[in-house]
Amino acid sequence: MLSEYKMKLPEVSLDHADGRARAVLEKAKAQVGFIPNMYSRMVNSPGLLDTYLNGYNAFREESGFTPAEQELIFLVISRENGCEYCVSAHSTLADMKAGLAPSVTDAVRDGTRIEDPKLAALAKFTATMFDTRGLPSQGAVEEFLTAGYSERHVLDIVLALSVKTLSNYANHLFHTPVDKMFAGRTWQQK
């Protein structure tokens, strides 16, 4: 899903950035090893990219979710938001780094059933938090907790929603092209 309006702000490379933008891009490169297309656009607002990087890192380091669960959460949110870039990127990360079964990644991408009951509960609750704008029913929370998660996990899903909203919305506005390394898992909303 792309915005009808396409941002005209330029892509900013580390070589051509200065001041705060350069510092944030250096931080980004240190975190992920390269500057993704998404970052080179988001840095037009250094505070936007810096907030994203801080929240993303906090979620990765402190959430208590496994890497596979983290990718599942990011995939669900990105799919719900219709972010072609982030679904493609997180599908690749799920395949290459997180240990999320391709059948689970594909189920999220295709909007089909996840066989693993705990991961299915996580995906369902993440979508519920998205759909209800953070106003889940008592029953939805209890079902999530019964699946083996905690109230702390509920808050960490809020963090993931916040982080993905920043990147998903920026990608919608910029029509961010998928990086070559993610191209094998390119996704488009049906």
Nearest Cα residue to 121 out of 87, 90, 148: 148
DSSP class of 12: -
Q: Where are the beta strands (DSSP E) in the chain?
A: none
Residue with tokens 């931080």: 27
Between CA 141 and CA 106 the distance in angstroms is 25
**Fold classification of 11-62 (topology level):** 1.20.5
d(CA 118, CA 76) in angstroms, rounded, equals: 15
Q: What is the DSSP string of 59-73?
A: HHHHS---HHHHHHH
Rounded Cα distance, 172 and 190, in Å: 16
Per-residue pLDDT tens listing for the chain (190 residues): 789 999 999 999 999 999 999 999 999 999 999 999 999 999 999 999 999 999 999 999 999 999 999 999 999 999 999 999 999 999 999 988 899 999 999 999 999 999 999 999 999 999 999 999 999 999 999 999 999 999 999 999 999 999 999 999 999 999 999 999 998 898 988 7
pLDDT at site 44: 98
Write down the pLDDT at residue 188: 87
| Nearest C-alpha neighbor of 130 from the set 84, 165, 172 | 165
pLDDT of residue 1: 73
Beta carbons within 10 angstroms of residue 20's beta carbon: 14
Q: Where are the domains of the chain?
A: 11-62, 65-190
pLDDT of residue 79: 97
Token pair, residue 30, equals 């240190």
Find, among 82, 56, 85, 60, the residue nearest to 174 by Cα.
Answer: 85
Fold of 65-190: AhpD-like (1.20.1290)
